[in-house]
Amino acid sequence: MIDRLRDLVRELMLIPGLSGHEGRVRRSIRQKLAELGLAARTDRLGNLIATIPGTEDAPEIMLFAHMDQLGLIVRKIEANGLIRAERLGGVPEKALPAQEVLLCVGEGRDVPGVIANKSHHATSQDEKYRVVPYQELFIDTGFGSAAAVTAAGIEIGTPVVYAPKFVELGGGRIAGTAIDDRAACAVMLEVARALDEIDTHPTTHLVFSVLEEFNLRGAVTAAQMLQPDIAIQLDLILATDTPDMAARGDVRLGGGPAMSLYSFHGRGTLNGVIPHPAMVRLFGDAARDAGLPLQRSVHVGALTDLSYVQLVGEGVASIDLGFPMRYSHSSLESCDLSDLAALVALCVEGIRRIDVDFSLDRDDYP
Ligand SMILES: [Zn+2]
């Protein structure tokens, strides 16, 4: 499965899909679902939904991961052809200069560019350690005039992403663009394949969601339509096994999938997820019985769209599961393929245990 996962992740990572512009990713995943014999539908926001029917009267599950990625969007084309861009999503400004980007004009017509980094020979002492605000940055496509840029198909509003990249590192690890969250999209496709080979499982709705990096709420329309009893969200879990992250927790790359016991974001968002105790117990038991590793994460400062999905209807029993990942939101995020494989196994093992007797009653839990 590792080989198939690697190929799948690579393929998905190399497709540009800025938030709000997920069309190419959606078409690719729809095709892969079709190959698995699964028909998929799309809602008006662009969420891609495929339902695997299962045991009647068992709680219904929405398993989801987001298709979109963060990036930039063209704000102004200067007369000399240099391009100013607005940030879309949590783009780290300190990781932007000297990056290769792709201006997404249309399949086969995309335009490469570079984000300028002031010539080192002209960099003053106090500029050396300063993060350049994105407003001061510009993208150079090589075209020397606004007319030439426009003729190449670039206009105000054109999506820009990090140049798609896939790097195979040692030890079964990979790096590249949009591992957040295409790796989880690949995991979901593998879960779909595995569920198909199991006799009894609950009805599972696979949702490949939109707009997560933009406003965290794209998945909400899918949840409103599906009215699931349970929501399982798959995304990165911050790895803390590098020196700069050591005090934040105990999540190791290659140490297996992880579940979040607490997430919170203050600054204007004021949301987070404290998972339903039934979900924590379910995946704890599933991991133990199947001999799978399961790491635990508590983190303030990052959210997923589950924060909003949990509030739909009379409430959805929710949990964030994920794969450890380093260097989030940079153009070279990194994860371990064995964690993705184990996450597939954990999801399947957990989901198959949900039957008609599975209780979501809070009073059945401490
Ligand atoms: Zn994500």
Length in residues, the chain:
366
pTM of the model: 0.97
Which pLDDT value is given to residue 269?
A: 82
Choose among 145, 83, 141: nearest CA to 114.
Answer: 141
**Which two three-digit tokens encode residue 271?**
């949301």
Average pLDDT, the chain: 97
CB 81 within 8 A of CB 144: yes
pLDDT exceeds cutoff 90 at 243: yes
Confidence of residue 218 (pLDDT cuts 50, 70, 90): very high
How far from the centroid of its chain's Cα atoms is residue 166's Cα?
16
Cβ < 5 A residues, ion ligand 1: 180-181, 235
Distance of alpha carbon 168 from alpha carbon 366, whole angstroms: 45
CA 183 to ligand 1 centroid distance, Å: 10
pLDDT exceeds cutoff 80 at 215: yes
Choose among 219, 214, 218: nearest CA to 90.
Answer: 214
Confidence of residue 183 (pLDDT cuts 50, 70, 90): very high
Note the helical H segments in the chain. Answer: 2-13, 23-35, 146-151, 179-195, 212-215, 218-226, 277-290, 306-309, 337-352
Which pLDDT value is given to residue 231?
A: 98
314-325 confidence digits (pLDDT tens): 999 999 999 999
CA 171 to ligand 1 centroid distance, Å: 24
250-295 confidence digits (pLDDT tens): 999 999 999 999 999 987 788 999 999 999 999 999 999 999 999 9
Average pLDDT over residues 211-228: 97
Confidence of residue 244 (pLDDT cuts 50, 70, 90): very high
CB 28 within 8 A of CB 15: yes
DSSP letter string, 21-71: --HHHHHHHHHHHHHTT---EE-TT--EEEEE--BTTSPPEEEEEE--B-E
Cα distances from 29 to residues 8, 49, 124, in angstroms, run 10, 10, 48
CB 331 within 8 A of CB 162: yes
DSSP state of 229: S
Q: Which of 22, 60, 190, 212 is catalytic?
A: 212
CA 166 to ligand 1 centroid distance, Å: 17
73-117 confidence digits (pLDDT tens): 999 999 999 999 999 999 999 999 999 999 999 999 999 999 999
CB 258 within 8 A of CB 187: no
**Which two three-digit tokens encode residue 315?**
């409430």
The amino acid present at 137, given as its one-letter code, is L
CA 65 to ligand 1 centroid distance, Å: 8
CA 68 to ligand 1 centroid distance, Å: 8
Average pLDDT over residues 181-187: 98
Confidence of residue 1 (pLDDT cuts 50, 70, 90): confident
Residue keyed to tokens 């590793």: 293
Give just the sign of the alpha carbon dihedral 272, 295, 356, 233: positive
Please give the torsion angle defined by the CA atoms of residues 168, 187, 5 and 19, in that order, rounded to the nearest 10 degrees: -50
DSSP state of 291: T
Please say if 314 is a catalytic residue.
no
293-349 confidence digits (pLDDT tens): 999 999 998 889 999 999 999 999 999 999 999 999 999 999 999 999 999 999 999
CB 53 within 8 A of CB 62: no
Which pLDDT value is given to residue 333?
A: 98
Choose among 260, 344, 346, 272: nearest CA to 309.
Answer: 272
| Start-to-end CA span in the chain (Å) | 38
CA 363 to ligand 1 centroid distance, Å: 32
